[in-house]
Amino acid sequence: MLEIAQLDDAAPSQVQAYATEVEKESHGSLRLHFNDFWHKGEVDFEKHTLEDVTGGRMPGAWVGVRSLDLVGVTSFQPLVAPLLVDSQAMQDRIFSAGIPLEMARGLEGHGLVAVAVLPGPMRKVLGVRKPFREPEDFRRALLGIQGGEIPESTAKALGATFTRMPSGARLSAVDAYEQQVDNIFGSFYGLAAKYVTANINLWPQAMAVILNQAAYRELTDTQREILRKAAGDAIPAALKATQSEDDAGVAKLCGQDVAFPTSSDLQLAALRRAVQPVYDEIARDPDNARMLNRLTTLRAAVAAPPDVSACTRPGPGAHSGSLPEGTYDMVLENDARSQCTDSPPQGTPGQKSWYSLEVRDGRVTIRQRIDNQSAPWGVGYYGFYSTLRDRIRIDSLNARWSFDGTALRLNDMTGGSCSDAVLWTTKPWVLRSGPVQGAPVVPDGTYEAGLTDADRHLCDGKPGGQGLNPQSDPRGKPTSFSSITLDAGALRGYAREGRPTVIPRLEWVGSYRVYGHTFELTTLTFVDGPEHWDRLTATFTFDGTNLTLKPVGTWPCWARVWWALHPWTLPKKTP
């Protein structure tokens, strides 16, 4: 069991892919165990973590490679040179060529060994009060950064001042922040800052799993070979996870009305000229100078423009509500799937196969008849889905969807295999039997409810009951006025104390989904505290004005009172 320190409560999907390969390759005899919240909330969390590993207080950790120069390792600086590796196509080519493992040799002499180097999402520029598209936008601005010397040098080259920020820090003091889109959503920054420059990708959040020399020496030669092989085998899954993470993060931020302005070619060129001093600084090391030239040549060969993050707009006939439940049919030529080399061919070449897609209660099931319409049905796929506007997530698959009343179409699918994409997106799925009749719909909008003093005493003496904070009103009138805003899967909860005219305070953020007669609160998080719930499930009724929730399963007492004691009244629908 290798102890690995990490900042948050879950390892990134890229590191998880590596951990899975290690366990698989060793048949369970070698595993990574993650120590959560390591230096959480500290400004210099990466530097302190690296010092813990080199000092022997922790055998290993995963860190962003951009932080390794904090302990004198500069060999990864060319990988994070600003605006150089600005597309996943470029990052894919770099990792496929094994270049990061060459960079990892720079850890020699620093008491560290990189057992894996993994790709990561692009770091973007989050503008708090305005978009940041050209050098002039950065001049005299305060830029929040994380990592090592390169983010500092980049801020200086752009004429900005900088401040180091811990994970989850508030944005009130800065004008902009370099972050990846999934972290922007996960830290609730999209509720306060509304600009992420679509095509400025500062550097990839590539990461390394490191061990100190003592921990590495304790491993057998076989165990070291397992770690080495797993590092290579995990790259394809890590690249897919990276693309899925970026796509999902953008879709979530679009649901919070975050804008993705674009820099023009001239503005991008001006930014590249402005950061040239950073390249000059990196190139002072002859080995880094040669690596910069190599990466620059590779970038020209890849010839990929910067990745662009953007909110997708529904096309003609696109549906922006919930995915229509029902049963859909599709016929596909077997030859269409035979083009994919990542899975065995299915069916006889030149023949067709028949597919049925059932969408119901948040689940999707594909049944198939291979080669013959009279063949027995077999299950080809079973999973769970969620939608956000015109985006759909089916387990690890992400795509755009539209429905014109008859045909369900999926396109731009990521996160799966070639065979997955062919099956789901080649042809439209035609509705055979319609949605479940009588299932109520919960419209987007702002709903309101109130709690009396007696209501707020219902949880006295129970865990979390003090959070209701009762205020006395002998007349039995409401003393807390609550509202929830439902917006295409995104949820915000507000509270007003004493009377309904005071300024509302944001209490909760999260997501929700509705299927059948079920209303499900997901990733529900208290803004000013540690409380977090992954899932609270209820049945519901909606009569056109009042939304009534009836909890299913175990709910904390306060949640039953706050969410389900009284109906939520809809005074304002979303246009």
pLDDT score of 192: 84
Alpha-helix runs per DSSP H in 26-98:
45-54, 88-96
pLDDT score of 529: 66
Q: Percentage of the chain surpassing pLDDT 90?
A: 43
* Kind and range of the H or E run holding 239: helix 235-255
Give the Cα separation of 149 and 67 in Å (integer).
8
- Token pair 């917006």: residue: 487
Quick one: pLDDT band at residue 515, thresholds 50, 70, 90?
low
Give the Cα separation of 312 and 306 in Å (integer).
17
Please return the burial class of 461, using the count of CB atoms within 10 Å of its CB with bins 0-12, 13-18 and 19+. Answer: exposed
Tell me if residue 271 falls in helix, strand or coil: helix
Give the Cα separation of 29 and 178 in Å (integer).
39
Q: What angle do CA 183, 168, 399 make, to 5 degrees?
A: 15
* Sheet strands (E) in 148-307: 161-164, 176-179, 195-196, 207-212
213 near 1, Cβ under 8 Å?
no
Closest C-alpha to 329, from 385, 377, 258, 267: 377
Q: Which residues touch 446 (CB under 8 Å, ≥6 apart)?
A: 483, 484, 485, 486, 570, 571, 572
Please return the burial class of 536, using the count of CB atoms within 10 Å of its CB with bins 0-12, 13-18 and 19+. Answer: buried
Give the Cα separation of 97 and 127 in Å (integer).
35
pLDDT in tens, 446-471: 899 988 888 878 887 776 554 565 55
Closest C-alpha to 188, from 123, 120, 142, 255: 255
Give the Cα separation of 4 and 1 in Å (integer).
9
| Mean model confidence pLDDT for the chain | 85
| Most confident region among 72-76, 243-247, 344-348 by mean pLDDT | 72-76
* Sheet strands (E) in 361-443: 363-370, 378-388, 391-394, 397-403, 407-414, 429-433
pLDDT score of 475: 47
The alpha carbon of 542 is separated from its chain's Cα centroid by a whole number of angstroms, namely 32
Tell if the pTM clears 0.85, that is, is over it: no
Q: Which residues of 425-436 are buried (b: 16+ CB within 10 A; e: fewer)?
A: bebbbebeeeee
pLDDT in tens, 296-342: 999 988 888 899 888 764 433 333 446 778 888 898 998 888 878 77
Residue type, 551: P
216 near 344, Cβ under 8 Å?
no
Give the Cα separation of 481 and 437 in Å (integer).
35
Q: What is the CA radius of gyration of the chain?
A: 26
